[in-house]
Amino acid sequence: MASGVAIQQHARHFSGSQSADEFTLNPLLNLLTNTLVLHQTIPYLPISSLLNLAATSPSFHDLLLRRTPGVFRHLDLTRVKTAQFEIDGGIDHGGEVWRNVQVDENLTEDDFYSGPLRGIIQSIRRRDILHHVQTLVLDGLSVTAEFCNDILVDPTLRVRILSIRDVKNLNERKLMQSLRYVCRSTRPDDTPRLKGLYVFGARDAPDLTASSPTGQNGTARASSNISIGWNHKSQHALKESFRAEGDDWYHRRGRIIGRHITDGWAETLLDCREMIRFDAVLCTGPRHQNSPAFGKVPVMSGGTAPGVDSPWGVATFALGGCASCGSSPEGFTEYGDSPAEQLPLLAPVPLHSSTIKAATCPNPNSGSGTGKETHKFIPRCLECIRERYCFSCDQWWCESCYQVPSRQELSAQHVHIVDQTDGLLDHELAALEPPNVKVRKGYCLNCHPQSTERRPGIRNPFPP
């Protein structure tokens, strides 16, 4: 990472000069001529720094733009200032040139919202760079479904991994239509070229890059250096804490996807499962038709919300084994044993590779243990753990070990309990719960009386 900062400083220093001292540049040029060093460094640099560096001398231009394939394999546009979508004032500015887009009566909605991004893409295409891009990161930008469709169907592009997490102005239903179309049974050979799509999770935390101080006196420069140093220390501590927690899905337990899942995504994942992988997987609960336990375990309708009955569902929770049997009716999704199409893409987006293998491989040094036995989880949707999962202690009970009582049974039991509750404390009320009830309103009976004290601020996800 230090070499990446040095490259940015060299690029800023020489980008505006007519000539460069080759003797001064030779150490850096010799360093980057080592392919291993070059490919380990360039993913950390924004495209502007790479282009500025290539403009410093013919030697760098030849190295970066001609002799070394893969320099622009990983393209992250989230740090490009002109890619940000910002609107000041009204929208109707007839005839005004705005971010490479002519804003007039003929402007379409897609042209307007994807204008900044399309302008950058056209500039990169003119430089003969775009066809080298295999990983494209657009998190947090203004990305339309039409723009994504162009990436999917353009025969000149080789984008294999696309990240559009937390983007703005995305019509998800149109995106689903495009994905299902490119994965149709009559699709041309070797299509779709896209193999992985990050869309459900939250965007990765941005890296803090050191920059040269801009103060006019020594005090300002010293203050800037101190701030940069503390920022790097904070970033390092944050990354270390994430590494200790382990990967999402495999090592974290509880809710993994916090955003609302639009209707139709489950069917889209099902239609694309052999061609495109996502940062989410289908729920494997026995109430869904894709589950190995479908039809083998009785599923009581009393545990689901009224009117919620879908043959497919997107998993938003990662669970460990059942609190009683240690497993589940459908078994675990396990890295190395489960079919490849059942494995989710893992965050962050891989820097040094654009393969699905790299994007789905959990960190062997993550989590509480080591070895393959730690790389497994049970994917479930909210409805499949309703009144089975405790949001305080993260325990849950599977369908084989526990059948959720019906609403009629709970109502009858509640009437019986109310007659005995006069003058009793909370923990005494919990002791009166029927023995066949394990979870009430999102908390197990051991955690329910103390839930507000142990986990302040937690909102009950299951309304009464």
Q: Where are the domains of the chain?
A: 2-177, 195-205+219-386, 402-464
- Tokens representing residue 420 in the block: 């005995």
pLDDT of the residue at 57: 84
pLDDT of the residue at 204: 83
- Tokens representing residue 133 in the block: 């891009």
Task: Burial-class residue 160 by CB neighbours within 10 Å (0-12, 13-18, 19+).
Answer: buried
Phi, psi for residue 50 in degrees, rounded to 5 = -65, -45
pLDDT in tens, 71-103: 999 999 998 888 887 664 444 444 444 444 445
Q: How far apart are CA 63 and CA 34, in angstroms?
A: 11
Q: How far apart are CA 251 and CA 393, in angstroms?
A: 16
**β-strands 135-137, 161-163: how paired?**
parallel
**β-strands 196-198, 135-137: how paired?**
unpaired
pLDDT in tens, 202-261: 998 765 444 444 444 544 454 455 455 555 545 545 454 444 457 889 989 999 999 999
Which residues does residue 443 pair with via DSSP β-bridges, in sequence order?
A: 440
Q: Would you place residue 26 in the very low, low, confident or very high pLDDT band (cuts 50, 70, 90)?
A: low
Which of 65-74, 193-202, 409-418 holds the top average pLDDT?
193-202
279-284-286 Cα angle (round to 5): 160
257-260-263 Cα angle (round to 5): 115
Q: Which residues contact 254 (CB under 8 A, 6 or more apart)?
A: 317, 318, 391, 394
Q: Would you place residue 66 in the very low, low, confident or very high pLDDT band (cuts 50, 70, 90)?
A: confident
Q: Which residues contact 263 (CB under 8 A, 6 or more apart)?
A: none
| Residue pair 56/28 in contact by the 8 Å Cβ criterion | no
34-39-42 Cα angle (round to 5): 115
State yes or no: pLDDT of 151 exceeds 90. Answer: yes
Q: What is the mean pLDDT of residues 20-25?
A: 49
Q: Would you place residue 453 in the very low, low, confident or very high pLDDT band (cuts 50, 70, 90)?
A: very low
- Tokens representing residue 126 in the block: 């003119």
The secondary structure element, H or E, covering residue 196 is strand 196-198
**β-strands 317-319, 254-255: how paired?**
antiparallel
3-state SS, residue 197: strand
pLDDT of the residue at 87: 61
Share of the chain above pLDDT 70, in %: 67
Pick from 69, 65, 55, 66: nearest CA to 25: 55
pLDDT of the residue at 216: 47
pLDDT of the residue at 297: 86
| Residue pair 56/14 in contact by the 8 Å Cβ criterion | yes
Q: How far apart are CA 18 and CA 405, in angstroms?
A: 79
| Residue pair 313/282 in contact by the 8 Å Cβ criterion | yes
Give the distance from CA 339 to its chain's centroid.
21
Q: What is the mean pLDDT of residues 393-407?
A: 86
| Residue pair 328/321 in contact by the 8 Å Cβ criterion | yes
Q: Which residues contact 146 (CB under 8 A, 6 or more apart)?
A: 110, 114, 174
Q: How far apart are CA 351 and CA 137, in angstroms?
A: 10
Local structure of residue 333 (DSSP, 8 states)? E
pLDDT of the residue at 447: 80
Tell me the average pLDDT of the chain: 77
**Which region among 11-20, 186-195, 387-396, 407-416 has the lowest average model confidence (pLDDT)?**
11-20
Pick from 297, 318, 277: nearest CA to 161: 277
Q: What is the mean pLDDT of residues 62-66?
A: 88
Q: How far apart are CA 81 and CA 116, in angstroms?
A: 10
| Residue pair 68/42 in contact by the 8 Å Cβ criterion | no
**Which region among 265-274, 320-329, 407-416 has the lowest average model confidence (pLDDT)?**
407-416
Please, how many CA atoms are within 13 Å of residue 10, restricted to the half-sphere of its CB?
25
State yes or no: pLDDT of 14 exceeds 90. Answer: no
Local structure of residue 409 (DSSP, 8 states)? H
Q: How far apart are CA 15 and CA 446, in angstroms?
A: 65
pLDDT of the residue at 259: 92
339-343-346 Cα angle (round to 5): 155
